[in-house]
Structure 1
Amino acid sequence: MRHLFAAEWSRLFSRRITLVTALLVGGMLAFITFGFTLTGSSPTPAEVTQAEQRAVPLAQLWDQRTEHCSRVQSGLEQAEPNEDLPRACDYGPRPTADSLLDYGFSFHRQWPSLYYGAAVLFALAGFVLGASFVGVEWSSGGMSSLLLWAPRRGRVLGAKLLAALAGVGLVSLVYLTLWTGAFLAISAGNGTVSQMTGGEFGSLLLTALRVVFLAMAGTALGFSVASIGRHTSAALGVGITYLLLWEFGSTVVFTVVETTDYAEPYRLSSYARAWLRKGVLPDEGGVGTVARSTFKATWETGGLVIAAVVAAVAAAAFLSMRRRDAR
């Protein structure tokens, strides 16, 4: 297994599509970084003073709500009628002068949105790479030749899948680290007036791991569907159809009729959002949607659903590998 993995690892990074995809993703990240450098500017002393004055009462209100929520959840106080307290008393970050300033880019304020965008980009790139990595082997006859040398089909497919997951995970982690460093450098040069706390850095690191997990999940899905269909185009066709007809199509339908988005609990993107944002609550629907949202999920639920879907599709791929003759 170790030799198979080493061979597949080497083949993954020697493929032209891997290099092209890595360059495209890196170029897109660099373009986004350059765009944020153009919006960076330093706040004036008057703006800083005004933000500091506004931050004081807002921070006090945040402290009061958080303390009340903690006492209610610990049983020391009773909740008010119809009072809906957030899970784990998560009222978001504590208001600071920096969070109230609108002077272009602030890593402290905007890093969650940046990471959510990176998660989508990495997951799509992983899906394409995973699909092409095994799809080309089936369509070109390379899989048949490989099975003559290593006839244990489950082990062969497992080595390919592990190499694809490890490769995409490593590249995603490296890109995310470099991207974060670039944004920290930009933020440090534009007059940021507050610093991130240790807890906020811990949240950042956990979100980064969630981004890498989604990239690997996308890779596994693309790999598995392409293996079942024995062609890269099979995975790309399934992926594009799912995104257009279900993810995008159902959102548009419920937005047009302006009713409750009943399809939201059945879309993978809903659970991906819950996984990245540490949970979602009703009326926190997708960006730009008019449809009412009643969907509620924790980050644990989001991760479990995504893992279950990936495991089910991967199991189907391995079952198909064992039942079919290599041709």
Structure 2
Amino acid sequence: MNLYRAELRRLGKRRFVRYLVLAALLVLVAVVAGAFLSNEKVDADAVAQAERTAEREFDLAVESAARWQAECERSHASGEPDLNQFPPNCADIPPPTRDMFPAEYYLPPTFVFRDDFPATLYTFTGLLVLVFFVAGASFVGAEWTSGAMMNLLLWRPQRLRVLFTKLAALLTGVLAVSVPAVVLWTVAYWLTALLRGSAEGVTVGAWRSFALTDLRSVALVVAAAAAGFGLASIGRHTALALGGVLGVLVVGQSGLAAIADALQVRYIELWLLPTYWIAWMDSSVEVTDWRACDWRAGCVPPTSELTWLHTGALLVVALALVLGVAAWSMRRRDIS
């Protein structure tokens, strides 16, 4: 039997992976449904209603300010003004102006595809990264724990071939789920914009940018699955991968942030993983060296740009290191 097809079948039959992926997809469906139901299209009637609401709120604010000023004047006229509640000069109570109540504040929520869609990919990517990291770790970790890996190596003694065939089968499954999912996610939000929002201003360049972000999203999901697989292979247990990532995210990040702060390093955001996450998803992020300025002198702090290429290079290096150690461990350690 072909080893690759056997591993694909094994991946598909793992109930934990199936239920985990199904639960994630149902959550994504619920998120899209919630966005569809909570938004509505803004037409001329909605704009007119918002204008009336803004005018009404302005009138109420004017009346409230007038009452407040009158109470202030009565308090001062009593000879014992309550300075804890009123200013020394009642004229300092500013009356509201009409521009403080723009009609846009009173419009119903509406989904603007060009402005709002990129933020939805954070939800999509974050959930699938978590799910496929766990699935990748479980796919190989459970086989070490159950002894199935030892039985497989009796049938196919080529250790590295077995390891990387498993990885190839895993990544094939990840792509088979994540690529259609991100396409359907984009289509669902496009329909939400058409039916419950606005699809104006979406140019060819905007579509190209969205497509590249979709690709980066899928690439990050694939990398998460491979990282989970590699870490579980090193420790020969699913828990090592989960514990390792938890340690990096909680203990490691807190420790690095504390060390960077103590050493007063420049661009402290570069020591934090969320910065790289934003750079990857948004294509770039600007970091600021807040320590470089004496604010009393009014200087402008220097900035530096972190792009998705920088993040991608670090991701490739980290992934190569994890998989390299996993391959070395598979080749050198006893199978027992």
Residues 40, 108 of structure 2: 8 Å contact kept: no
Show CA shifts across 1:102-130 (max 9, x none). Answer: 74322221111111221211111111011
Structure 1 residue 261: Cα displacement = 8.3
Q: CA 1:177 to 1:264, structure 2 compared with 1: closer, same or farther past 3 Å?
A: same
Q: Tell me the equivalent position of 1:318.
A: 327
Residue of structure 2 in register with 1:28 after alignment: 27
2:4 is aligned to 5
Structure 1 residues 310 and 19, CA gap change in structure 2 (3 angstroms): same
Does residue 273 in structure 1 map to residue 278 in structure 2?
Answer: yes
Residue 33 of structure 1 and its aligned partner are, at CA, apart by: 1.0
RMSD, matched Cα: 3.0
Q: If each structure's strand is expressed as a fraction of its own residues, which one has the higher value?
A: 2
Structure 1, 164-173 or 266-275: larger mean CA deviation: 266-275
2:287 matched to 1:282? yes
Aligned equivalents of 2:6, 2:177: Cα separation in 1: 18
Q: Which structure has the bigger radius of gyration?
A: 2
Tell me how far 1:193 sits from its aligned partner. 5.8
Name the CA distance, whole Å, in 2 between partners of 1:38 and 1:247: 38
Q: In the aligned structure 2, how far is the partner of 1:34 from the partner of 1:12?
A: 30
- The residue aligned with 1:87 is none
Mean CA deviation greater in 266-275 or 299-308: 266-275
Question: Which residue pairs with 1:45 in the alignment?
Answer: 44
- Preserved CA contact (<8 Å) 1:281 1:295: yes
State the partner residue of 2:14: 15
The structure 2 residue matched to 1:227, chosen from 217, 229, 233, is 233
* 1:150 paired to 2:148: no
1:174 corresponding residue in structure 2: 180
What amino acid maps onto 1:275 in structure 2? W
2:256, 2:271 within 8 Å by CA — same for their partners in 1?
Answer: no
On the 8 A contact 2:267/2:287 being kept in 1, the answer is no
3-state DSSP of counterpart to 1:43: coil
Q: 2:123 aligns with which of 96, 117, 127?
A: 117
Q: CA deviation at 1:148?
A: 0.6
Task: Name the CA shift for 1:312/1:293 in 2 (closer, same or farther; >3 Å).
Answer: farther
Q: For 1:68-107, what per-residue CA distance to the aligned partner results, in whole angstroms no more than 9, with x for missing partners? A: xxxxxxxxxxxxxxxxxxxxxxxxxxxxxx9xx8743222
User: What SS class does the counterpart of residue 202 from structure 2 fall into?
Assistant: coil
Letter aligned with residue 320 of structure 1: S
* Contact 2:253-2:272 at 8 Å conserved across structures: yes
1:75 is aligned to none
Q: Partner residue of 1:237?
A: 243
Q: Tell me: CA distance 1:261–1:32, structure 2 relative to 1, closer, same or farther (3 Å).
A: farther
Q: Which runs of 5+ in 1 are unaligned?
A: 50-97, 286-291
- Distance, in Å, in 1 between the alignment partners of 2:249 and 2:312 is 20
State the aligned residue count.
268
Contact 1:271 1:306 in 2 (8 A): no
Q: Could you tell me whether the CA contact under 8 Å between 1:268 and 1:306 is conserved in 2?
A: no
Per the TM alignment, residue 203 of structure 1 is displaced from its structure 2 partner at its CA by 1.0
2:198 counterpart residue number: 192
Distance in 2 of aligned mates of 1:169 and 1:145: 28
Residue pair 1:271, 1:303 contacting (<8 A) in 2 also? no
Residue 46 of structure 1: CA displacement? 7.9
State the SS of the aligned residue for 2:41.
coil
Amino acid in the other structure paired with 2:319: V
Distance in 1, Cα, partners of 2:140 & 2:271? 28
8 Å contact from structure 2 (residues 32, 188) kept in 1: yes
Contact 2:129 2:224 in 1 (8 A): yes
- The residue type equivalent to 1:280 in the other structure is V
1:106 aligns with 2:112: yes
- With normalisation by structure 2, the TM-score equals 0.72
Query: Using the alignment, how far apart are the partners of 1:155 and 1:107 within structure 2?
Result: 45
Look up the equivalent residue of 1:136 and give its one-letter code.
A
Return the match for 1:161 from 155, 167, 175: 167
Equivalent position to 2:218, from 208, 212, 216: 212
Identity among equivalent positions (%) equals 37
Structure 1's 322 and 14: CA in aligned 2 closer, same or farther, altered over 3 A?
same
The residue number in structure 1 matching 2:96 is: none
Tell me the secondary structure at the aligned position of residue 297 of structure 1: strand
What are the Cα deviations for residues 203-236 of structure 1, in whole angstroms up to 9, with x where unaligned? 1111111001000111111111100000011111
SS in 1 for 2:309: helix
Aligned 8 A contact 2:42 2:110 in 1: no
Q: For 1:186, what is the secondary structure of its paired residue?
A: helix
Write the distance in 2 (CA, Å) between the matches of 1:128 and 1:237: 11
TM-score (norm 1): 0.74
